[in-house]
Every structure is written in C-alpha cells, then in structure tokens.
Structure 1
Amino acid sequence: MSNVPKSPAQKRAGTPGEPQPAGAAAPRPPRPRQAPPAQARAPRTERRDAGPEAARAPHAPRTRCAPNPVPPITFAESLPVSGKRDEIARAIAAHPVVIVCGETGSGKTTQLPKICLALGRGLGAGGAGLIGHTQPRRLAASSTGRRIAEELGTPFGEVVGYKVRFTDNLAPGASVKLMTDGILLAETQTDPLLKAYDTLIIDEAHERSLNIDFLLGYLRQILPRRPDLKLIVTSATIDAERFARHFGSDERPAPVIEVSGRLYPVEVRYRPIADDRPAAVRHAEGASSGRDRAKSAREAERDLMDGIVDAVDELCREGPGDVLVFLPGEREIRDAAEALRKHHPPHTEILPLFARLSAAEQERVFKASNARRIVLATNVAETSLTVPGIRYVVDTGLARVKRYSYRNKVEQLQIEPISQAAANQRAGRCGRVADGVCIRLYEESDFAGRARFTDPEILRSSLASVILRMKSLHLSAIESFPFIEPPPGRAIADGYQLLNELGAVDDENALTPLGRELARLPLDPRVGRMILAARDQQALREVLVIASALSVQDPRERPVDAQEQADQAHRRFADERSEFLQWLRIWAWFEEAVAHKKSNRQLVDACRQHFLSHLRLREWRDVHSQLLTVVREHGWRLNEADATFEQIHLSLLTGLLGNIGFKAEDEPHYLGARGIKFHLWPGSALVKKAGRWVMAAELVETSRLYARCIAKIEPEWIERIGAHLLKKSLSEPHWEKRPAQVAAFERATLYGLTIYHRRRVAFGRQDPARARELFIRGALVDGEFDTKLAFFAHNRKLLADIEQLEHKSRRQDVLVDDELIHAFYDQAIPAGIHTGAAFERWYRDEVSKSGQPEDKLRLLYLSRDDLMRHEAAGVTTELFPKRVTMAGVEMALAYHFEPGSPRDGVTLAVPLFALNQVDARRAEWLVPGMLKEKAHLLLKSLPQKLRRHCVPLPEYAAGFVERAGRERFGAGGLVDALIADVREQTQVATKTSDFKLETLPAHLFMNFKVIDEHGRQLAMGRNLAQLRAELGAQAQQHFQKIAAAATLAPAGEPAAAAAGASGARARRAPLGAPP
C-alpha cells in the first residue's frame, strides 16, 4: 500500500472558505440522515423486472454542515488502475469528461472515487460537492460502498455511504454517495442541473441499461451549463469509443484511458451438453403439447444441472480455488445448489448470489472461507461485482433477458444465449489470483455465431416512462434527445401509444392534465394510472396493495416437485372472479401473521407451509409502504369502507387496457388487443371459470403467449375507462318516427376487439348535413312524422289523393318524383335542422315572426300543381267510384296499383253478414274505369278464328263500353254480355268456354275482403265461392241477427246501423229494397 499526500482540501477538512469550529476534525459516527420534506420525497415503485431504481424520487436537500474528515488515502498497488492513477487524475483535472475503460478486476470501481477525493473533489459538503457514483444494481451499490469505506478505514456511511431503493445510509457530512443509476435519474426532477454533485462517476456504462442511456444523454445536455462538474464514465472494454464520441466536442472525442484487468491467463474450454443448443434455450423454445413441453423442461433442467456438476468436478480436479457458476435466474440457481449439495462433500460451500438476496446472504459471498466455495450467480457477477478468490468459471451461456414486443405490446422475459462480449466478461472473472479456467457449456462454433454485443436496453424496452419523464422535465423531444444510440421510431411510437392509452398524452402527444399528474408520481406509468383512478373510485386502500404486488415478483412459490401441494395451499386465497383479489387475501393473511408472530423463524416457516416466499412478501410490504408514503404526501385519504369489486377493477383496468381479452367462440384461446391470441396461465384459479371478457396483469410469452393474474370484467367497464381509445363506426343511418330523429347503429372497437355493436345512437351529432337530408326524406317526404302542424296534414292528404289517382289509373306517372318534393323542403328548411323537435320549433318561430295564421302564411304548403305531372284525365269518381251497392248494402272500394300483390287492382270490402248476398256476376264488371281493359283482354283470349271478327280489339272494346252504358253496366255476367254484343255486332256465335279467363291478370278480377262489424279483416281473396265455403255459415248467422234487429229497430233507423255494422263504411238499405 502507498500513501498519497493530502490535498489542500483534505488538509482543510471542511467546506472551502468556511472557518472550522473547534473540534471539527474529531471523527463522528455516521448519523441517520434527516428525513427530507414530505413534498420532496417520492420513492420509486417498479414493476417486476423493470429497470431497477428507474425512479423519480427527488433529491433530498442535504443539511448544510462541514464534511466529515477524510483519512489519508491509500491505493492498492496490485490493482491495475493504481498504476494509471496519475494519468487519470491529470485527465480529470483537464477535461470535463473522461472515459475509463478497464477490464473486469482492474479496480476502477473502488479506486476512482478515491482518486477524485485525492483531487479535492467531493469535499464541498453542506448541500453541494458530493461525488456521485452510480451502479446498475442495488447489490453492487451497497457492496461497492462498503468496500470503499473499508479501504478508507471509515465507518460505512460516514465518508462513503449509499442510497438505493428503500435505504438511505449516508451521513450529512459524507463525501461519496454510491447509488443506483435510477436514484440519480430521479433527482433530476428537483435538481435539474444536479448541483448537489461536483463529480459524477457513471460506472458499468457498457451495460447500456435504459437508465444509463438516459443519464448519459441528460448529462451531455447539462454539461455546458455546469462547467464545474466532472464526469467519469467507466466501461469494460466494450466499444468505449462510442462513449468518447458521444461526449466529444469540436470533433474531438473525450479522452479514453485504458486499464488492463486480467492478471493471469485464462484457459477457455468448451464442454457442450447433450444438445448443441443451450439446454434452457431448448426448453424455452418448447414443444408442441403440454406433455411434451413438461418432458422437455425436465430433460433440459437435467442436462443443464448434469453439465454444471460435471464441469465443477473437472475444475475441482485442477487444484484449489473457488468456482463461479453463471446461471440465468434465481430458480436455476436453487436447482443447481440442490444438485451440487447432493454431489459434493459437506465441506464445500455453495453460495447463491442474485439481486434479491438479503444483505446478510450477500455478504457471505465476499467473506473469506477455509472451504472451497462454489458461487452460483446471475449476470449480476458479470461486471457489477468482483467476487474475491475466483479461479474457475462455469458459463452456461445463458441469461434471462427482458424484451418488449412492439407487435404484441408485451414484455417477454426469456432465457437467451448471451453475447460474445458478455461471455468474455464472464471468463474475465477468473485469473485474478492465479491461472484461470473457464468452462463454457456450449460449442465453440455456437460462441462464434453469437452477437458481438448485448443489445442496449433502450432497443428492447417500452419507452413510455422515459417519454413521460422527459416531458415532465421539459427536455427536448425524445426523437431529438442525444441518446448514444437513438431508439427506433417503432419503440418511440409504442411509448407514445401506451401513454395515450393511459390518457397521459393527447392525440398530438402533448401532456394532458392527467399526464402531468402522473409524471409527479415516482411510479411506473401503469401503476401510477391505477392509483390515480383508485383515488377517484374510493378504492385506494385495496389498489395500493394490489399495485405493490404487481411491482414485485410473485411471492407464490410452485416448486416442480410439489406443484399440487402448492396449488392446494394457494387455493385458500383464491377468488372465483379475480386473481387480483388473491393479493388482498394473501396480504391480509401475512399482515395477521406478522402481527401475531412469536419469532421470525415461525413467520418464515408459516410462509413456507403456504408456499409463499417470505423474502418477496417483505419486499411487497416495502413497496406498499413507499406507495403509501406517496399517497399521503399528496394528501389523499384511504377509503374507510371496503371498495366494491367494480371499484377495484375499474381502477386496475385504467392501467391494463392493453391486456384485455375476449373469449373466442369454441376456441381455447382469447382474442387480445391488436389481433393477438393468448391462453390463460395453466396455474390460474380461473382457467375454467373466466368469463367472456378478462383483463390480465401481464402477458408473458414463453412457448406460447399466456395471460397471468386475470379477472373477469364487463365490456361496459372497457367502454367507460377506454372511451378515449374507442374506434367508433356508424352504419345504417335512418329516420325513426317515434323519437322523431335520425338514428344509426354504432359499433365500437378497442385495439380491434368489438366492445359493442348495433347500438342505436343519434346520427345528427356525427353528420348533421346527412341527418338533415334523412329527416326531410323520412319525416316530410315519406310522411313518417307525428306532428299537429297544419301544413303537414294538408300535404299528406294532397299526396294521398294523387296517389289514389295513380292507383285507379294504374299508372305511376301522375305524382311527381320524390326528389322534387325533397327539393321543395330542402330549399325552405335551414341547415342544422334534423330532428322533429328542432323542426317544429323553427316552424312555429317562423309563423310567429310573420304575424299571420299558419293557414294564411301557408309556409311549406304544397299545391296540386307542385305534385302532379299531368291532370290524369279520365280518372273520375264516376269511372272509379268509392263505393258500390250490392244486395242493398253499400260497400267500400279500394284501388291499389302493385302488380303481384294480393291487393293489386280493386278490392271490395264485404261485411260478413252480406257475404252470401254478393252478386258474383256483378263483380265481374269491376268498375266502369276498368271495363275497357278487361273487355279488351277477354276478346284477346278468344281463338283466332273468332277474334279476327273483332279487330281492331281496342276499338271494339271501347265500343262495347259505350254500348253497355250506365243502364246495362253490371246487368248479368260480363262474359254473357260480351257474347251477346259480339253476336249482335258481327253475327258470330261465341260461348263462355271460348274465353280463356286464366290468361287475364289478377287485377282484372274483383278482390273480396271480408270484414267484421269493427272493420277487421277476416279473409281476402278473388275466389268468392271459396270465401263463402269458409265463412258462409258465419255470414248466415250474422245476416239473421241483422234481420232480427231490423224488425225491432224504431221506424226510419237503418237495420245495419242498429246492428252496429257501420264500421266498414257499409250501410244496409231497408230490407226488401231491390238488389
């Protein structure tokens, strides 16, 4: 060890320019830091596996005080970075940004803060002048801080302390602050220029996490405004030139100082397991069936574990030294630990190392031991931590990587092969104490085919929280922000889309009021949105518990060898409608267990019995405590009454609109947003009970896409919460008489899912011009309008009269076209009127303004000239009478022109009592106006040899009508009269059978409609004999009643009236009158 002279700042041991009080140099033990003001504290809650510490917890103003004394600084000459400390110090003094590129084990992480202290940096305590030192992970931040404090010989927290999620171990007079990059990023909200620091060390920048990339871009922007700030960026030997160019100026890159790392050579051996692909990758790819997948998983695990055991055996035969095994995740670490414990002697120490271990368990890894140690670690030991004493490395070549699918809008946390750079980092962890050996459990050709570098997180993440944070800080748009590698446009668009889904930005991507409120919450945007909704829904108490549960790993454990027992234990917490409510039940159980525990061991045992992770439950409580702090700082009150199922799930739905699904008919899957298909997680309690609509906490893609943590929901909730996202379309706009408005059928979709369809809505708000047109056509032209306005009754009667002329004349060229009638109204009615109520208001206002009665003003009154193309000559009441008398009964006639219709032609309304008295021969004549056509067609039906004597037929038929005259019309049968006329005019004899009646169209036969005394139709047809067969007996009975009533009726009163038979416009002549 070597001593370096004290800097002037060290000699002063205080804030420059300030006199030191007596005794200031006396060492003081670290004190708990003063709690920051409530409005400043905003601790961060993350979704599970989100970027650690991606918080917006504002920086707490430090209490002004003298710095704690810094002892003489020494450097370990055995570390490569110590040999470069003078060069590094000169570069820091001369440049605002320095890139230190050093291989793993070079000592840069622990020695750089000491070099800065030796330069007098970090001694301006009392609110400014800290050396800020960031680490990607909490474990690295705490262990690095402890190591530096140990090397300085000061209690941890006094000169060197740390701040990570939920923990702030930094005395007021400390000089070096270790923290996660997320903590520093959080402080930019309340300290935009980061004036609390005079030096910043961004460590492990090569990891290129989202937070690191954001920090490097942010720092590049503020450096010109902070000429006093020194920035040191450290990286492994991975593309350091990229960082140098990023911080360069005037086309000159920032200086790069290379530091060697490995002290001894490392031999790399390739020992692939059975399949040439990594076992867990084979497992991740899955098999086609559930049974095959389970079998594949077991085989993959067995192959991987066997490979690890064999590799450790081989390394143990090489000689003494500790072994570091890299595995993809916590579960694989536990499986490997179990396999190694069964295989190796008891004196071998097997130590797990992953981020979620307790502090005590983490410390075991850094303590020396007489036994051989086998450390089982995730990639946290790749670059963030240097585990002492490692001579051997086993590299499975795998890591658990989070990727965001822009197509499916889901995060995929899958096991993937690592990059070449990551593999080399792992190999570099051995060879620091002696010649090292690294065994890779995959082929050398596999290594050669892998990507050179790990993708930066910004290229595989959702950018919603970054965009929200940038907007709240009023930074430049993300599209122009100086990222080292700008994210792809697709990722940016996806981030904006999520914020739009949450209602945080509008269609122009500007922050909404809700977005500004959301940005003030140090939470994942989805979780923050849920809490804001819960505040409004009076469901904060329950949603805080659920939201905090969604921000940590699932505490429920489901070991492979005890899945049934675990499922049975978890069933006590199940709810048949919602898995979100499980969290409330687990929470209630755990809170009660904590309150009544006799010892911590008993609590841990109780958790184990219920297959719950005590560690994750504790973290859940910590996150809930942070959320509760945020809520209280904003002055929001928790609901005292229990929230309802609807209130809770409406709140959750605000953050999960992209995770809804609709059960496909006769299919095992659900249709999700944007065309995806997903299945319910096999372990879900709702697999067989979920409704047609569900929402999920997350969609995870492994061998297939699964929805985890689901609940039944109602489509009406989606409509309420996602109103700003619904895509609505209208179809079939039409006029409706009863409500007197134009309506249409509306269909609404959310991300391609139909939320409702054929909902009747008012059309006028969507398209007033089209609605006005439909109003005029439907209400005024077609007459589908209930109104007492006199013009309407006048116009409808006029139209009906002219239509009757068309029916009688059997031609459709009398009444003008509907378009002309529409044009008449269109010209007179102002724009914007499309409902009956609005029209009537306008009409009455016009009449009122004119000062004339409506019938005098005649507004919108049509005339016959307006409506008729010609006069329809020959259509007279004489030729087309309204009534005819048969058997002394006056019966109504109706005319209708609609070929093919049962009503086509002329219809005689026959009262039931008069059915047997109708003269069939008279009915053959129809009415005078139709006689010429019928006579013409009857003559036309004659055989040629007879017909030729009557040509031209039209003239003969007209002559017959003339000769028949009024006196002979209706006397006898028509055919008999025609036979007699032909014989008289041509001396040609014809007979009834010569006339082919079946060739005549239906409208030339009388249509009989039999009605009762109330005018209701009993039967209708053109065959009088058939009608009499059906109703003749009833008709006879009714006739006898009429006759009996007539003999008892007072003199002069018609019998039909006495019988009440006037309802069908039929009036019975006095009995005995000639037929």
Structure 2
Amino acid sequence: MEPKPPTADSYADSVLTSASQTIPNPTNGVKRKRDDRFERTATNASSPPRKPDAAQNLSKSQGNGRLQNGKQGPAHHSTDNSLSKPLNEKRKALLSARKALPIWPHASEIRESLRGVRDVMLLVGETGSGKSTQVPQFLMNETWCNGCIAITQPRRVAATSLARRVAEEMGTPLGSSSPASKVGYSVRFDTSTSPSTRIKFLTEGMLLQEMLRDPWLRQYSAVIVDEVHERSVNVDLVLGFLRGIVTGDNKGRRGAPLKVAVMSATADIEGLFNFFDEGYAAAGKIKSQIFTPGPQADGEDSSESSWSGLSSPEETVGKTKSSGDQTVHIKSTFISTCYIEGRQFPVQIMYLPEPVQDFVETALRTIFQIHYKEPMPGDLLVFLTGQDTVEALEKLVNKYAQTMGPEVPKILTLPLFAALPQSAQQRVFQRAPPKTRKVILATNIAETSVTVPGVRIVVDSGKAKIKQFRNRLGLDSLLVKPISKSAAIQRKGRAGREAAGQCYRLYTEQDYTKLETDTVPEILRCDLSAAVLTMKARGVDDVVGFPFLTKPGREGLEKALLQLLQLGALNEDGKISETGRRISRLPLTPALGRVIVAAADEEMGCLSEVIDVISCLSVENIFLNLNTEDTKEQAEAARQELYRRQGDHLTLLATVQTYAAERSDRKAWAEKYFVSHRAMQNVMASAPQRSTAHSLSVDHRHNQLTSTQDVRKQLRAQCQQQKLLPATACFDDHNTTTSEATTIKILKCFLRGFASNTARLMPDGSYKTLVGNQTVTIHPSSVLFGKKVEGIMYNEFVFTNRSYARNVSAVQMDWVGEVFAP
C-alpha cells in the first residue's frame, strides 16, 4: 500500500579596554605570564562596591512577613517544636542575610500591592534583589492567602534549589520528607510536597499540567510567575490562562480571587501592563492609562528603588522604570507595578582582541590562565553550548589539572546541564573544599534564576545551541549561534552576585555590539503542537484568538493542528478527542504520549516495554560518547550483545532489560558495555523505593537531595492513574528477551506517534521523507547507520551540519500505510 500523508490546508483552515591577559597553552604547561590576549573594559554597576556580608552565602534569599500588632512587617517564621535543631539553627543564621537584601524594606509595599481589588502585581527586581525567594514568604500570611502559593521557574534546577533555600530560611523540612513541610517543589518526573505545603516551586510545564486537572487553580491563593523575560512557550501559555482567571468573575473559584505576581529582572514592564490591562478592558472593566513624560519629575534620584500603584483601590497612580531608566506613569485600578534595585557588585569585562575559531580550546586555556593568576577564593563559571561541549571540556580540564604542582590550588570540575540528575546538579551549590577552586562548566541553564555560591569569575563563550523548528519541513534545526545582548548581560551578572568579579568574553567587543538585543521568544521558533494540545485540553477552541503575549505565526498553528489531527488527538471539527485528553495529561510530547496510548490498547499490550524505551528517550544519552578510535572499537564490540537489528528503540529496550536483570554490580555492568550508569540510574532507581510519585528522597535535617530520578517508575504510576495500566500490574525485571511478535507491536505503536517522521529507501541508496520529500541521513550514533532497509522511522529530524534522523528504527512501508489510511 502506498502511504498518502494528509495535507494541512483544508483541515487547518477549517479549525483555526584596559590591560589584558594571555591564555597559556595547556599542552605546553601553564605559566604565570601576562600579555595582550584580553582587552579589559570597565563596566558600571548598579551600586558601588561594598564589603561582602552575610548575604554572600545566598543562593537566593528572602524573608517572611506577617501581621504584628495589626501591622504588616518582616518577621521570623514561627518555630515548630517538631523541627530538628539543625533546621532551626540554619533559619536563625540566615536571618541577617535576608535582612540585607534590597527587597527586604519593601515587604509592606509588596503585601499592600495585592490587597483589595488589586489582583496583579508586576515586579521588576534586578539581579540579586531577592525576589524569587522572598516574595512568596511576604505573601503567605496575608488574609487572602488561605491556600498554597505557586512560584514558577523556567528550569528544574532553579525550582529545586530555590525550594531548598526557602525551606532552610523558614526552618522547615523540604517536600515529602515530612508531613509538616511547608515548602515543596514539582518538576518533570519528580514531585515532592506534603499536605502542609504552603509554598510550591514548580516549572511552568508542571503548572500547565495542574491546570488540566483544575482549570481554576483552586488549591492556590496566588501564582508567582518568575523570570518571565526568558519567554518560553510555556510561560506565554501560563500568562494567557492566568489573565483569563484574574479578569474573570471567579465563579469557578467560588468567589475567591487569585492573586498573580509577574516577576523578572529585565522584562518589558509596559508590555506586561498592557497585556493584563487589555484583559480587564475585554472583561468590561476600567481601561488604564499609560504615558511617558520623559525626564523624571521632582528631582527624584533614579538610583533609589521606586514603587508605583499603591495610592488607592479606586484609581491607583504611580510610576515604574522600564528599560533605559525611562519613567512610565500608570493609572490602574487592578494592577500594581514595582521596581527594586539589585545588589550587583562591579564586574570587569575582558574581550578578546581577535575572533577565535575554537571556543572550547580558548576556554580551556583561559581557565588555567585565570587559575594561576587570580588569588583564592574565586570560583569559575564557564558558559558553553551543550552537554557535549561540557563533557569534552570537563575531560580536558581534569587531564591538565593532574599536571599542576602541589603548590597550586586544586581544581574541582563540575558539569551543569539540563539532563544531569538533580543530585549531581546540586553539587555546584556546595562550597569547594579548602585550597580548591570550583570550575563549573554549564550550559545556559545557569544564566538566570540561580546563584552559585563562590563564583567570582565568568568565562562566556558567547554561544548557545538554539532550536528552530521549520514548519514546512517538520525539521528542528539545532545550531550553535551567538547569544543575545540580554543573555550576555545575564551571564556577566553571575560574577557580581557576592563580590566584585570578572567576566572573560571569548569574543571581541565589536562582535558584542552586533548581537541581537533580546532572544527571540520560543513561541516564534518552536513546534506548537504541545502548546495547542494544552489549549484544547483547557477548552480553548479558538487558538488564534488566545491571548498570547506574543502571537505565533499562522503557519505554525496550522502545522500543529494538522499534526494533532494525525495523532488522533483532535477530531475532524478541531475539538479535542478522548485520546487527546489522555495524551495531554502525560508529561511527554504529544507524539510520545500517543505512543503510550497506543501501547495501552488491548490489541497491542506492550505498554511496559514502551515505557522502558520512552524512559531512555527522556534522559541523557544512555550510551557514552567516546572520543578515541580505540575506545570506540572496544565499545562497538562490547555493545553487540545489546544491539538489535531492528534499530535504536529495541536496542534501548534490550539495554534497560539487561541492566534491570543485573543484580550484582550494575556500575561494573555499565562500564563493561560503555553505558552511562548515571543515565541508567535516572531511567530506573538502583535500590527499591517507596511506592509513591516522589522519587527524590531528602535528608530533612539539612534539606540535602540524596537520590536520583526514576523515570520508568513514575511513567508507570502515571499510566496507572489514567487507568492505561492496571493498578495490580506486575513487572518482570528478570526478562531479557522480547518476542518477534512483541517487537513488531512496539514498532507499530511508535509509528502511531511518528508516522510523519518516516522515510523510504530510494534507488540511489538515500532516504527520502514521506512528508516533504526531503533527503535525510541516519545519524552516525544509530544502530542502523550505514545499513539499508525498506523504510525508517525516527523520533528526531534535526539539522546540525546536515539533516539527520536520530533514534531510528526499521519499519515496513505497509505499516506506515496502515497509519495514514483513513
């Protein structure tokens, strides 16, 4: 049967420089030497340098406030007699640091800004102001706050580290470690809360998941959207849904208002104000007024923190600063605005005099130049492009560190990237041992939201991996590109959080001036299928009319609608189907969610095996990346026992099954087959765990994270909750073989989610995609690399230096035809 993929048109239309330094060459040994490699540039700080104080030890700090003698003011959190002594001592020790934060004196104004009919607060708090940890504690004892406070973060590492910090400040255990815990968190594949949780840090994606179960967010009294300037597609969806709630009649909340705070370091406050104000106007409420008179009135000092929106509930008049220190006057009844100065120490910037070709080699040489030149203490934070460059540079730094003499301080190299297990991510927040300098090699996840203690020096490659989805081709381009100026400023700021610092930019000053001002919002450059499915599941039929902060292009929405129709997530009339509802409740992409639903079908009956495969696809690469030809040959020979002729998906399944069956020494097993033991621990926990959805255990005496994820276990639990998997299901971890009939069923289930990601073998030996007729090459990491089969199915179609299919399996073309058949 010749498969005939549908087209988009009919369906989508129907439903729509001072002194500088030289970098030594590590291959020739590191020497104490100065020359003209870098050009120094002095930069202005938002406040003059000051002596480090107790606040230096902050990750992000905050205080707590509550009613005292009828007045609001900063206060200690009440001491629970059940709390352990170490937690109480930690809470008391952090009090002086909290009081030193710039945001501390504004506690009363922040509380006042959300009283009465004012349900929205827009807060611009510069780096180091303490907004992320302090604002939720300021609000938790307000009279309107009878439920929990949610505070969203763009990344998992920020949500978990901030939750731990706030728990320490409040003197409470973290998450599920105690029924009395008042602080918890929720990130993908890991939720840790208690019945007593009052403050919950969570990623934006997890809040969207909660909105599917409870569209009115009844368990929350307030939602704080932090780091909104990062403009992920999820934060745009969250803001759109929150605008609908706060400007509505609150019937779904039984009359209780939802308070919303939107916080950022660099956001366009006027644009956010207009966004919410238009929502109030559409609901028939008073339209506010904004005007910019120019110079600041009354001779006020622009260096002071300024506040606006607090005079009267009938008509609030104030002002706030937008970018460029321009004064913006606002008249509003429902929205308050605030600007808080940060505590940013001076940071000296060094540029390269000439561009370099290899930023990894340049970073290596810079690291050792700094280590020999700069006195202790002073840890390094190095910004790189991705996990591959982080791990490659980590090996090089460790190699050359072994050649240093005993008189030189030691180097502790720590990676930091998204796929890293939480326990490994948290190591960067621990102080370095004596006479040791931390060198943290990070992707852009360290740009915002978190402060790494001890960092005084930043090395900025000026690059990042940017994903761009091409709607016409269904192709993700993942290319290394220059960062924006705003990202460069954020990176530089990491060096000035605790003391005066330095930023070594591995590019020229002229190149900096050519950078784009801001990063393009993700919603303009990503696959929108997950976003559209979320909107449909929340009852949004008119996705074009949804209140986006930045509206995506029509082509992207049409592509998403067509893909969801092909997956069976939408009906012909554009309404969400029962299959779509099931997919939307899973913390997976729509395509992978469709695979889960297909595997749960009684006719297929291979859900357990499919969960094993998807668990591997949800963590970092389980097979180690090897650099030398000798080790590659050894790995290839060892992995032959795991490789399956059908391709990568069944190879992943065989690897999980064999690893699970190993009962003696799994770490040794992983070394034997050149498999990442760290990744496999994230796929499935090595030791028996409690039968709860909380995979991360916590030492509640010190709120230390002590374990790793167990993606497989949590996917099983979520499938059981949706009745896709029987609650009494038994899993045989001793089974290491899969029958031929089951392997066919597994591949057919993956085809249900990835039918549009298929290609057929052409007479010239190349593969052409069925959708778009594009030439695609099997990635060299695939088991099928260099092999010729009738047809292939792949999870990813990415462009790096050419168009590659990744995670590839062989399929028969008549299977593909069955999926495309009406």
Residue segments in structure 1 that go unaligned for 5+ positions in a row: 13-23, 31-68, 280-299, 725-1075
User: Which residue is equivalent to 1:969?
Assistant: none
> Which of 324, 347, 355 is the matching residue for 1:266?
347
| Inter-partner Cα distance in structure 2 for 1:4 and 1:711 | 55
Q: Assess if the C-alpha contact under 8 Å between 1:262 and 1:428 holds in 2.
A: no
| Inter-partner Cα distance in structure 2 for 1:549 and 1:229 | 39
Q: CA deviation at 1:331?
A: 2.3
TM-score normalised according to structure 2 size: 0.73
| Inter-partner Cα distance in structure 2 for 1:359 and 1:519 | 25
Q: Assess if the C-alpha contact under 8 Å between 1:75 and 1:82 holds in 2.
A: no
Q: Amino acid of the residue matched to residue 341 of structure 1? A: N
Q: Assess if the C-alpha contact under 8 Å between 1:270 and 1:441 holds in 2.
A: yes
> Which of 713, 717, 720 is the matching residue for 1:625?
713
Q: Assess if the C-alpha contact under 8 Å between 2:380 and 2:440 holds in 1.
A: yes
Closer, same or farther: CA 716–348 of 1 in aligned 2, 3 Å: closer
| Inter-partner Cα distance in structure 2 for 1:10 and 1:176 | 24
After superposition, where does 1:823-902 map in structure 2 within 5 Å? none
Q: Assess if the C-alpha contact under 8 Å between 1:308 and 1:394 holds in 2.
A: no
TM-score normalised according to structure 1 size: 0.56
SS in 1 for 2:163: helix
Q: Amino acid of the residue matched to residue 325 of structure 1? A: V
Q: Assess if the C-alpha contact under 8 Å between 1:323 and 1:391 holds in 2.
A: yes
> Which of 392, 402, 407 is the matching residue for 1:335?
392
After superposition, where does 1:328-727 map in structure 2 within 5 Å? 328-344=385-401, 345=404, 347-369=410-432, 370=434, 371-534=436-599, 535=601, 536-561=603-628, 562-593=631-662, 596-597=663-664, 602-621=665-684, 622-633=710-721, 634=723, 636=725, 642=739, 643-724=741-822
| Inter-partner Cα distance in structure 1 for 2:453 and 2:218 | 36
| Inter-partner Cα distance in structure 2 for 1:70 and 1:491 | 52
User: Which residue is equivalent to 1:251?
Assistant: 288
Q: Assess if the C-alpha contact under 8 Å between 1:269 and 1:438 holds in 2.
A: yes
> Which of 135, 140, 160 is the matching residue for 1:142?
160
| Inter-partner Cα distance in structure 2 for 1:75 and 1:558 | 43
Residues 752-783 of structure 1: per-residue CA shift (max 9 Å, x gap)? xxxxxxxxxxxxxxxxxxxxxxxxxxxxxxxx
Q: CA deviation at 1:507?
A: 4.1
Q: Assess if the C-alpha contact under 8 Å between 1:272 and 1:441 holds in 2.
A: no
Residues 113-163 of structure 1: per-residue CA shift (max 9 Å, x gap)? 2211354564x3xxxx11111112221111101111212233324222222
SS in 2 for 1:228: coil
| Inter-partner Cα distance in structure 2 for 1:433 and 1:519 | 42
| Inter-partner Cα distance in structure 2 for 1:190 and 1:73 | 38
Moved more, 1-10 or 322-331: 1-10
Q: Amino acid of the residue matched to residue 263 of structure 1? A: Q
Q: Amino acid of the residue matched to residue 632 of structure 1? A: Q
Q: Assess if the C-alpha contact under 8 Å between 2:766 and 2:777 holds in 1.
A: yes
Closer, same or farther: CA 559–393 of 1 in aligned 2, 3 Å: same
Residues 266-295 of structure 1: per-residue CA shift (max 9 Å, x gap)? 2211126753xxx4xxxxxxxxxxxxxxxx
Q: Amino acid of the residue matched to residue 613 of structure 2? A: I
After superposition, where does 1:71-150 map in structure 2 within 5 Å? 76-93=98-115, 95-117=118-140, 119=142, 122=145, 124=146, 129-150=147-168
Closer, same or farther: CA 29–186 of 1 in aligned 2, 3 Å: farther
SS in 1 for 2:469: strand
SS in 2 for 1:383: coil
Q: Amino acid of the residue matched to residue 217 of structure 2? A: L
Q: Amino acid of the residue matched to residue 580 of structure 2? A: G
User: Which residue is equivalent to 2:257?
Assistant: 228
User: Which residue is equivalent to 2:267?
Assistant: 238
> Which of 218, 226, 242 is the matching residue for 1:195?
218
1:313 matches 2:369: yes
Closer, same or farther: CA 316–386 of 1 in aligned 2, 3 Å: farther
Q: CA deviation at 1:585?
A: 1.0
| Inter-partner Cα distance in structure 2 for 1:676 and 1:162 | 43
SS in 2 for 1:666: coil
Residue segments in structure 2 that go unaligned for 5+ positions in a row: 1-53, 55-61, 73-77, 85-90, 176-180, 251-255, 281-286, 290-329, 685-709, 732-737
Moved more, 235-244 or 202-211: 235-244
Q: Amino acid of the residue matched to residue 267 of structure 2? A: I
Residues 870-921 of structure 1: per-residue CA shift (max 9 Å, x gap)? xxxxxxxxxxxxxxxxxxxxxxxxxxxxxxxxxxxxxxxxxxxxxxxxxxxx
Q: Amino acid of the residue matched to residue 360 of structure 2? A: L
User: Which residue is equivalent to 1:151?
Assistant: 169
SS in 2 for 1:372: strand
Q: Which has the larger share of helix?
A: 1
SS in 1 for 2:519: coil
Q: Amino acid of the residue matched to residue 696 of structure 1? A: Y
SS in 1 for 2:806: strand
Q: CA deviation at 1:3?
A: 8.9
Q: CA deviation at 1:194?
A: 0.6
| Inter-partner Cα distance in structure 2 for 1:395 and 1:558 | 24
Larger radius of gyration: 1
Residues 634-672 of structure 1: per-residue CA shift (max 9 Å, x gap)? 154579994433322221111111111112212444344
Q: Assess if the C-alpha contact under 8 Å between 1:663 and 1:671 holds in 2.
A: no
SS in 1 for 2:753: coil
Closer, same or farther: CA 343–558 of 1 in aligned 2, 3 Å: closer
| Inter-partner Cα distance in structure 2 for 1:712 and 1:458 | 33
Residues 937-990 of structure 1: per-residue CA shift (max 9 Å, x gap)? xxxxxxxxxxxxxxxxxxxxxxxxxxxxxxxxxxxxxxxxxxxxxxxxxxxxxx
Q: Assess if the C-alpha contact under 8 Å between 1:315 and 1:392 holds in 2.
A: no
User: Which residue is equivalent to 1:169?
Assistant: 192
Closer, same or farther: CA 553–351 of 1 in aligned 2, 3 Å: closer
SS in 1 for 2:114: helix
Q: Assess if the C-alpha contact under 8 Å between 1:323 and 1:392 holds in 2.
A: yes
| Inter-partner Cα distance in structure 1 for 2:493 and 2:100 | 17
Q: Assess if the C-alpha contact under 8 Å between 1:699 and 1:706 holds in 2.
A: yes
| Inter-partner Cα distance in structure 2 for 1:533 and 1:136 | 31
Q: Assess if the C-alpha contact under 8 Å between 2:237 and 2:548 holds in 1.
A: yes
SS in 1 for 2:350: strand
Closer, same or farther: CA 519–358 of 1 in aligned 2, 3 Å: closer
Q: CA deviation at 1:552?
A: 2.9
After superposition, where does 1:1034-1053 map in structure 2 within 5 Å? none
Q: Assess if the C-alpha contact under 8 Å between 1:672 and 1:678 holds in 2.
A: no
Q: Assess if the C-alpha contact under 8 Å between 1:272 and 1:440 holds in 2.
A: no
Q: Amino acid of the residue matched to residue 653 of structure 1? A: L
Q: CA deviation at 1:336?
A: 2.0
Q: Amino acid of the residue matched to residue 640 of structure 2? A: R
Q: CA deviation at 1:604?
A: 2.1
Aligned pair count reads 639
| Aligned alpha-carbon RMSD (Å) | 3.0
User: Which residue is equivalent to 2:13?
Assistant: none
Q: CA deviation at 1:105?
A: 1.9
